[in-house]
Amino acid sequence: MIGNNSCGAHSVMGGKTVDNTCELEILTYDGERMTVGRTPRDELQRIIGAGGRKGDLYAKLKSLIDRSGDHVRQEYPRIPRRVSGYNLDQLLPENDFHVARALVGSEGTCALTLEATLNLTPSPPYRALLLMGYGDWGTAGDHAPAIVQQKPIALEGFDVHVLENMQRKGEEPAGRKQLPEGRLWLLAEFGGESQAEATGRADAALKALKGKVGETEMRVIGEPADQKAIWSIREAGVGASRVPGREDSWPSWEDTAVSVERLGDYLRDFQKLISRYQYNCTMFGHFGQGCLHTRFDFDLKSEPGVRKFRRFLEAGADLVAEYGGSLPGEHGDGQAKAELLGRMYGPALLSAFREFKAIWDPDWKPNPGKIVDPYPLDDNLRTGPDYRPWRPQTHFQFPEDGGSIAQAAERCFGVGLCRSLSDKRTMCPSFAATRDERHTTRGRAHLLFELFRGDSLGDGWRNKAVKDALDLCPQCKGCKGDCPVKVDMATYKAEFLSHYYEHCQRPRSAYAAGYVHRWAPYASRLAPVFNVATQTTGLRQVANMIAGFQYGVALPKITSSTQNHCSAKQGLRRFWWTSLLVQTNGLAVSL
């Protein structure tokens, strides 16, 4: 969040990261370690006078802001969600030459952050929602300033496309029945030290807004379970923007922001722009600060599609600049969108950005090509016009993905719910055990994507990196249930391993478990001998080694053939499941 100057739904209450940064301990590329923060005039003169790397750095930063200060005051958007470019405004004398805040949002282009001292904002323990339903985006934007005046701790919105896509995936949101009539909904959240206080504030806001929002239907939700169900729809916005096989949306125009007072007019013009380019759009975001998340079904696999994508982003940037707004910048867009900064800032400020980077990094080493001297916005695309993935013959058919496992691997677009450590989700148990990105559903899906794309990973089905990442997948199907785009890693793993072992030797444990139906009947006739070999401490380690199983895992006793048939079958089932778990390299033991 320090790297990208991020914030979320409650920024109307607590502000952006930059607003809450007091000090940073940093490390420059040339090895200088220092603490930076607010620098009153006397302190600034002392640091410059002391000389050294820090004194030289502060002197150059002061010279830069002395020359560029008027441009910063005149050309920086005066809106709460300006996050693009460098925070040169924080170096102004009226902001106490705050070097730490100038580095927030610099995306690792200037220095590494080692420690941070931050403000904390109390979070009200009880909440209530005021829901409002609208027929169009513009009217909702028109009413946002009046709602903000009621001091909510969050003002969020989402459009009907979120609900439609959830339903296309077979999901029926529990909060749907609570929503008023409309095609776009605003959620104003109010907080308090008790439920009665929070609900009372929401009720007071409803009464105050009645004469200001026309015929808009409003209702207050105080029950925590109902609030959670409604918030789950808003939070599903990212995952609901992609419906595999029907709508492949991309996060390539995120976090544009304008003044909340101009939000309604901006949304009307933005909707006209979308219609002109004939894109489908899923929209949700932070209406309380005029900041929108939008996902579009860009065609990023053909030359005409990429050219259209570029034209749309350029037109969108011009529209944002026309409204005095800010381009995307909250999701590492210094690489993906920095080419557009010239449409928002004048040439003098772009030159100041270059100088700011050079002061910290004279050799142009950390993260080159971000924010200044950027890559073209249609370069380094995940797919692009030259995307021709390998489409091998497979056992599974993948009907929802065009019959291609390569296309199935494209489903994942990085939401990251598989990294959740909540006990309310099934996925991803291997990440919960290892805390390693390659053992997430996302990490495995991206490795498979790179494998089928062909330019990063070679060896086809024999690739060892993919095999190692899949090893700890327990094939529990948790991802298929929890992932918003239903990535089915259990199926992908089965497909991959079936081809991998066409070329590579299977481990001994696979034969021991796979042929259990053949050798177990013989073992049951010699059950006393077999159980001594597998249950005695010293002999058990030898048996595990021969079978290729992990040490320290006790194999179940085998039942004698003289016992009833049911007991024998239970013994075989127990043995088979234990063998399966043991093959996952001790993952079950780790969990």
The dihedral of CA 278, 282, 287, 291: what is its sign?
negative
- The set of residues, in sequence order, having a beta carbon less than 8 Å from that of 420 and lying 6+ positions away, is 427
Question: What is the C-alpha separation between 400 and 244, in angstroms, rounded?
Answer: 7
Q: Judge contact between 189 and 242, C-beta under 8 A.
A: no
- Helix ranges restricted to H, 507-586: 508-514, 516-525, 527-535, 537-547, 565-583
Nearest of 272, 276, 188, 187 to residue 237 by alpha carbon: 187
Eight-class DSSP state of 177: G
| Beta-bridge mates of residue 158 | 185, 284
CA distance linking residue 25 with residue 41, whole number of Å: 21
Residues 399-438: b if buried by 16+ CB within 10 A, e if exposed:
eebeebbbbbbbbbbebebbbbeeeebebbbbbbbeeeeb
Q: Which helix (H) or strand (E) holds 30?
A: none
Read off the pLDDT of residues 359-387 as tens digits, 9 standing for 90 and up. Answer: 999 999 999 989 999 999 999 898 999 99
Which tokens in the block code for residue 126?
Answer: 């009880």
| pLDDT for res 564 | 46
Q: Please give the Cα distance from 88 to 68 (Å, whole number).
A: 9
Is residue 173 within 8 A of residue 313, CB to CB? The reply is no
CA-CA-CA-CA torsion sign (123, 124, 125, 130): negative
Q: How far apart are CA 160 and CA 155, in angstroms?
A: 17
CB-based contact 513:565 (threshold 8 Å): no
Query: Using CA of residue 583, residue 586, residue 587, residue 588, what is the dihedral sign?
Result: positive
> Is the Cα torsion angle 357, 359, 364, 367 positive or negative in sign?
negative
- Helix, coil or strand: residue 192: strand
| The two three-digit tokens of residue 418, written as one number | 């598989």
Cα angle vertex 293, ends 91, 124, to 5°?
Answer: 75
- What pLDDT score was predicted for residue 286? 96
Q: What is the phi-psi region of residue 135: left when phi exceeds 0, alpha when psi lies from -120 to 50, beta otherwise?
A: alpha
Three-state DSSP at 214 gives coil
Query: In terms of C-beta distances under 8 Å and separation of at least 24 residues, what long-range contacts does 310-313 make, across chains too?
Result: 310/377, 310/378, 311/277, 312/253, 312/273, 312/277, 312/279, 313/252, 313/253, 313/337, 313/340, 313/377
Q: Which of 280, 314, 315 is nearest to 294 (CA)?
A: 280
Give the tokens for residue 170: 């077979």
For residue 314, the model assigns a pLDDT of 97
Joined together, the tokens standing for residue 380 give 């380094």
| Phi and psi angles of residue 35, each rounded to the nearest 5 degrees, phi first | -105, 130
Alpha-carbon distance 581 to 579, whole Å?
5
In angstroms, how far apart are the furthest CA atoms of the chain? Answer: 95
Best CA proximity match to 6, nearest among 291, 203, 407? 291
Provide the strand spans (E) within 103-238.
111-118, 126-134, 154-159, 184-192, 217-221
Q: What is the pLDDT of residue 561?
A: 57
pLDDT of residue 254: 84
pLDDT in tens, 479-534: 998 998 999 999 999 999 999 999 888 888 888 888 888 888 888 888 888 888 88
- One-letter-per-residue 3-state SS of 434-456: HCCHHHCHHHHHHHHHHHHHCCC
> What is the distance between the alpha carbons of residues 114 and 32, in angstroms, rounded to a whole number?
12
Strand partners, 129: 189, 221
Q: How many CB atoms lie within 10 A of CB 215?
A: 5
pLDDT score of 551: 67
**What DSSP designation does 471 have?**
H
- Residue 99 burial by Cβ neighbours in a 10 Å radius (0-12, 13-18, 19+): buried
- From first CA to last CA, the distance across the chain in angstroms is 30
Instruction: Give the position of tokens 């200044």.
Output: 372
Which residue ranges of the chain lie beneath pLDDT 50? Answer: 562, 564-566, 568, 581-591
Side chain identity, residue 28: T
What are the C-alpha distances in Å from 394 to residues 217, 290, 471, 494, 510? 53, 48, 20, 11, 22
- Rounded to whole angstroms, how far apart are CA atoms 302 and 378? 12
CA 487 to CA 446: how far, in whole Å? 11
**Radius of gyration, alpha carbons of the chain:** 29
63: Cβ–Cβ under 8 A, 6 or more apart, which residues?
none
Sheet architecture: strand order including 21-28:
33-37, 21-28, 111-118
- Cβ atoms within 10 A of the Cβ of 384, count? 15
**Cβ–Cβ contacts within 10 Å for residue 506, how many?**
12
